[in-house]
Amino acid sequence: MIQRCRDAFPIRLMCRCLRVSPSGYYGWVTRTPSSRAQENARWLARIRVLHADQDGIVGSPRIWEDLRYSGERHRVARLMRRAGLQGVPQRRRWRTKASGTLTAGTRNHLERDFAAAAPNTKWVTDITYIRTA
């Protein structure tokens, strides 16, 4: 792509349009990547291998667990985001039980008899609005 730009536009015109100096442009073209960029490329190669080994299902937290002795979680998440790698979220499975069955250890004290002989002998409330785990 750099070669095409050299052929299509004179370098000075391109540098003027991009507001950079020609020496800065040539320095950028010939400069080797920084040590951080090289390390990120090495990490990304390892992340891609781990992601492919697990059929692309796992996300950054589990990839980080595999790499936890050699890096940071946030770096793994950032590199995966930039590379377009993401895990498949697990579907939430709801436990169901048959209607009218009580769990073990639960006792129905009122046996559906809500009529009280005297005040403050039977207290009843509805807690269906409270979300519990």
N-terminal to C-terminal alpha carbon distance within the chain: 56
Residue-wise pLDDT for 45-94, tens only, equals 988 988 888 888 888 888 888 877 665 667 888 888 899 888 887 777 77
pTM here is 0.47
CA distance 39 to 25: 24
Going from the C-alpha of 11 to that of each of 1, 5, 30, 114, 130, the distances in angstroms are 14, 8, 15, 90, 68
d(CA 63, CA 78): 12
The pLDDT > 90 percentage for the chain reads 5
- Confidence (pLDDT) at 131: 73
Are the C-beta atoms of residues 57 and 88 closer than 8 Å to each other? yes
